[in-house]
Amino acid sequence: MEDLKISKKKPSYPISSKLHSYLEKYDRNARLPIFYDDLMRFQGSIVVYDDNDEDTLWVRVYYNDFEREEIDLALKRVYSDLISDGNEHIFKYLSVDSIDFCTFGNSKPFRVKVRNILNDNYTNFYIKKGDASRVYGLELEHMLSPHNLNFLVYKNTLIEEHIAGIPGDVFMKEKLPECTPIEKSQIAKEFVKFNERCMIRLLGDMRSYNYVIVPTHDFDHVVYKIRAIDFDQQSYEGKLNIYRPQFFRENLKMVELVRDKIQRASIDQYKVEERSIVARRMISYNDRINELIDCMQADEISIPEHINMLKKDIYKYTMDVNFKKSKNMGDILRSVLDFVKRNYVDVSLKRF
């Protein structure tokens, strides 16, 4: 277990015109009625505590009456664009119950809770400053993971849907001890696959509070999945192990679970399975992924020191000379995906 150091303040990279064009082509762009900076004009705030009276690092913000009315209407429009078909007829059934602001982390998001007054069901979504790293991370998650993601971008504002689940650190502390031996084995398997997926698509900083565990009841047992919820560290850091969740101290319990429950041969098997699944997704989204990587290759989303370090680390790991030729993070990610796809095709051909 390494003492991995994450850049304390990753710079926010602007969304390029080329990336905006990509987002427009795939219906990720929308003319939003409100910007991130509009929500920053709050008049005051109160601390939000959890059920154990501990500070959540979120504060509930409030605005003057005139602005609140205008903001509520704008947020209902955002909800309708993100969740529904953009129709205004649902506004009369919606209530903006709360707007929370997070004081922790790089993105400093606003969390908006919208409730349907007819049945009290509610939905959360997030409003953040637009950042190219985050947009690349969301798109790659949508295409290369088993989970679809819903988000919208307008100029320098990013709207993200809420990803439901139990935060990894909470799950390890409160839920994992209660799991059956079979459930623990299944969770260990999922962590191996999650670890491999993050490394393949260069998603960094998957400490336990940056992913969630999603339990799903299936007949007589519970199936657990692991989903990333933080995409700020997409293709930014220079050390390869930062893209491998197994090396963070916060994930020690998961690593111990894998050691206890899964044999080395099975670990290798699950890694191959995940690479094959990712390769199939790459083939399915071939044109779209190529367009996204084209944008990344023309973009600046890291610093030269990190780029040079990462391409050397991955070269040592794969011995693929293409990584030595990489000039930026887009080049590195394209080489990683090509390496995975090439090896998957080679293995598939050997079956026939």
Query: Mind listing the pLDDT tens digit for each residue in 142-170?
Result: 999 999 999 999 999 999 999 999 999 99
Mean pLDDT over residues 16-45, rounded?
95
What tens digit of pLDDT does each residue of 248-261 get?
999 999 999 999 99
Contact status, residue 128 vs residue 101, Cβ threshold 8 Å? no
Q: What is the pLDDT of residue 352?
A: 35
* Other CB atoms within 10 Å distance of the CB of residue 1: 10
Which residues sit opposite 85 in a β-bridge? none
- Single-letter amino acid, residue 198: C
Categorize the per-residue pLDDT at 1 as very low, low, confident or very high, splitting at 50, 70 and 90: low
Categorize the per-residue pLDDT at 350 as very low, low, confident or very high, splitting at 50, 70 and 90: very low
Collapse the DSSP code of 86 into the 3-class scheme (helix H, G, I; strand E, B; otherwise coil) and give the result.
Answer: coil
* Other CB atoms within 10 Å distance of the CB of residue 131: 23
**What pTM was computed for the model?**
0.93
First to last CA, the chain: 41
How far is Cα 287 from Cα 297, in angstroms, rounded to an integer?
Answer: 15
Which value, in Å, is the radius of gyration of the alpha carbons in the chain? Answer: 21
b/e burial code for range 167-192 (CB count within 10 A of at least 16 → b)? ebbbbbeeebeebeeebbbbbbbbbb
- Positive or negative, the Cα torsion across 192, 271, 269, 213? positive
H-run or E-run covering 115: strand 110-116
Mean pLDDT over residues 260-276, rounded?
95
Categorize the per-residue pLDDT at 295 as very low, low, confident or very high, splitting at 50, 70 and 90: very high
H-run or E-run covering 97: strand 94-102
What mean pLDDT is reported for the chain? 93
Q: What is the pLDDT of residue 84?
A: 81
Tell me the H-state helices in 285-323: 286-297, 304-318
Which residues sit opposite 221 in a β-bridge? 218
What tens digit of pLDDT does each residue of 197-225 get?
999 999 999 999 999 999 998 888 899 99
Contact status, residue 150 vs residue 192, Cβ threshold 8 Å? no
b/e burial code for range 133-142 (CB count within 10 A of at least 16 → b)? bbbbbbbbbb
Q: What is the pLDDT of residue 351?
A: 42
Which residues sit opposite 152 in a β-bridge? 159
Mean pLDDT over residues 252-280, rounded?
95
Whether residue 4 is predicted with pLDDT greater than 80 in this model: the reply is: no
Mean pLDDT over residues 25-47, rounded?
94
